[in-house]
Amino acid sequence: MGAASAAVPPVLPELGEVLAGVRVVALPMVTRFRGITVREAAVFEGPNGWTEFSPFVEYGDDEASAWLAAAYDYGWGPQPALLRSSIPVNATVPAVAADAVPGVLARFPGARTAKVKVADPGQTLADDVARVAAVREALGPEGRIRVDANALWNVDEAEHAIRALERFDLEYVEQPVATVDELAELRRRVSRLGILIAADESVRKASDPLAVARAGAADVLVIKAQPLGGVRAALAIVAEAGLPCVVSSALDTSIGLAMGASLAAALPALEFDCGLGTAALFESDVTDAPLLPARGQISTGRVAPTEALLEANAASPERRAWWLARIERCHALLTLPSRRQ
């Protein structure tokens, strides 16, 4: 079982009602990110407004069902009060060549923080160092840099990489290794460097999303609304973990980003810039008012799609059928008694 088992039990609308209103889109990316050049997503409307279901295509149904719980919660469930009208966001720098960094950062006007992808398969530590150096040069000495390895290093590789990158004054290193035990060991090794360790996959893909906090394996939690079952479920995890957190996107459309912004806006404290500016990585979106960063922030509030863009970015009939079948299977999983307790 994934993080879905830890989610607040979702509001379950009628499946037929959901399927009748689903729009499936395929959004082209500005540059390859996480191996993706086109991002597929399903969006549909509930009583609260539009919501999103967009687990990555390689995820199994059990994991993806948490994302459907989040879509139902956001579209049909009661939502917490928003404490902020805007959310500070970081720039997101894919594993591009160093000379492409200024162009990427230009898509995030006003951002004072950049998250830089590292450890990309087929690249070297020297590539990572050059990319981070270019980001530091572009942001200046006061800019904040965090790096994300997506759990692709082992402990020794991570320690070596962190020592190679520490001269760039890192804010934190996100999910450098795969397991909670490895995170704890790495955190012990680099504690004297003053660089924080953040956990992402160890929260959103874990059977127990609180294990990393209990083990003292991270300083910061990276929280994503969809994988954790929705805004309310994520808030409950943050409250119990007792650690500062960064709200991030899962490469959502602007509808999904609005869900993430609602989570960030409902947190009692927000110490870090959030990874919710990723609409800047799309060539097109589902709305003509996308949640693009402006002055380093995005606004809160729900997003409605633009019909012309839903049509222009519509997935093929075959991909639409694939997503509808996926929703049907995940919906069935959410009706199981073990999920409704």
Q: Is the pLDDT of residue 332 over 80?
A: yes
Indicate the pTM of the whole model. 0.94
Cα 312 to chain centroid distance, Å, stands at 25
Computed over every residue of the chain, the mean pLDDT equals 95
Strands, sheet with 144-148, edge to edge from the N-terminal-most edge strand: 91-93, 113-117, 144-148, 170-174, 196-199, 220-223, 245-247
Confidence band, pLDDT 50/70/90 cuts, at residue 5: very low
Q: Is 117 a catalytic residue?
A: yes
Catalytic residue, chosen from 131, 224, 320, 339, is 224
Give domain limits for the chain: 3-80+307-340, 86-299
CATH number at 86-299: 3.20.20.120
Q: Is 115 a catalytic residue?
A: no
Cα-based distances in Å from 279 to 26, 62, 146, 308: 14, 27, 19, 18
Q: How many CA atoms lie within 13 A of 45 on its CB side?
A: 9
Tens digit of pLDDT for each residue in 8-67? 556 899 999 999 999 999 999 998 888 899 999 999 999 999 999 999 999 999 999 999
Tens digit of pLDDT for each residue in 275-329? 999 999 999 999 999 999 999 999 999 999 999 999 999 999 999 999 999 999 9
Feature table: binding site: 148, 174, 200
Feature table: binding site for Mg(2+): 148, 174, 200
Exposure string over 81-113, b if 16+ CB within 10 A, otherwise e:
eeeeebbbbbbbbbbbebeebeebbebbeebbb
Tens digit of pLDDT for each residue in 96-107? 999 999 999 999
Catalytic residue, chosen from 117, 131, 232, 326, is 117
Exposure string over 302-341, b if 16+ CB within 10 A, otherwise e:
bbebeeebeeebebeeebbeebeebbeebbebbeeeebee
pLDDT score for 141: 96
pLDDT over 90 for what percent of the chain? 92
Q: Is the pLDDT of residue 341 over 80?
A: no
Identify the CATH class of 3-80+307-340. alpha beta
3-80+307-340 and 86-299 in the same fold = no
Tens digit of pLDDT for each residue in 108-138? 999 999 999 999 999 999 999 999 999 999 9
Cα 94 to chain centroid distance, Å, stands at 14
Q: Is the pLDDT of residue 6 over 60?
A: no
Token digits for 141?
């000495």
